[in-house]
């Protein structure tokens, strides 16, 4: 697997590792304002989805959709945002972000200025992790 010095996705977990496949992983991010915010990260350092083979890209997107299903089932958000930007961290990864009508930024993207204050949202972290692992299957090494 290729790693790049200084890349936060190559050098750290940046949350809680909840599932590990042979070439990508799912992290439950430490984002107190956004319960269930997950990152699906391709392990090798590649900049763009089109750098992946068709099979690898399909496998990665299958995981992204499985994470979305688990988040929807466990948290019942109003909406789920899927984003792969890579402007700040040019390493293929997807954000799966449950959105709620009263979250700090709704209906704007989570990376904009907040519209309102909010307290950290309580949620059943263990139940979400179990739901993610059930949806993602047995490949995990986490």
Q: Which domains does the chain have, with CATH numbers?
A: 8-136 (3.30.428.10)
Query: Looking at residue 139, what is its pLDDT?
Result: 57
**Reported pTM:** 0.89
User: How do residues 78-129 score in pLDDT, each as one tens digit?
Assistant: 999 999 987 788 889 999 999 999 899 889 888 888 888 876 677 899 999 9
Work out the average pLDDT over 29-54.
92
DSSP state of 137: -
Q: Report yes or no: 49 and 118 within 8 Å, Cβ to Cβ.
A: no
User: How do residues 50-72 score in pLDDT, each as one tens digit?
Assistant: 999 999 999 999 999 999 999 99
Query: Looking at residue 142, what is its pLDDT?
Result: 47
Q: Within the chain, where are the H helices? A: 8-11, 54-75, 125-136
Q: Report yes or no: 61 and 46 within 8 Å, Cβ to Cβ.
A: no
Q: Which residues contact 81 (CB under 8 A, 6 or more apart)?
A: 95, 96, 97, 99, 109, 110
């Amino acid at each position: 697997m290729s790693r790049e010095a200084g890349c936060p996705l190559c050098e750290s977990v940046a949350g809680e590792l909840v599932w590990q496949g042979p070439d990508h992983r799912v992290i439950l991010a430490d984002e107190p304002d956004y319960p269930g915010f997950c990152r699906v990260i391709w392990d090798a350092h590649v900049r763009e989805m089109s750098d992946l083979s068709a099979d690898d890209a399909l496998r990665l997107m299958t995981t992204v959709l499985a994470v979305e299903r688990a988040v929807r089932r466990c948290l019942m958000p109003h909406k789920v945002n899927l984003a792969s930007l890579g402007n700040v961290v040019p390493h293929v990864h997807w954000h799966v972000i449950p959105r709620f009508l009263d979250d700090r930024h709704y209906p704007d993207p989570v990376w904009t200025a907040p519209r309102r204050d909010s307290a950290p949202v309580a949620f059943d972290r263990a139940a979400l992790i179990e739901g993610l692992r059930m949806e993602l299957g047995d490949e995990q090494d986490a």
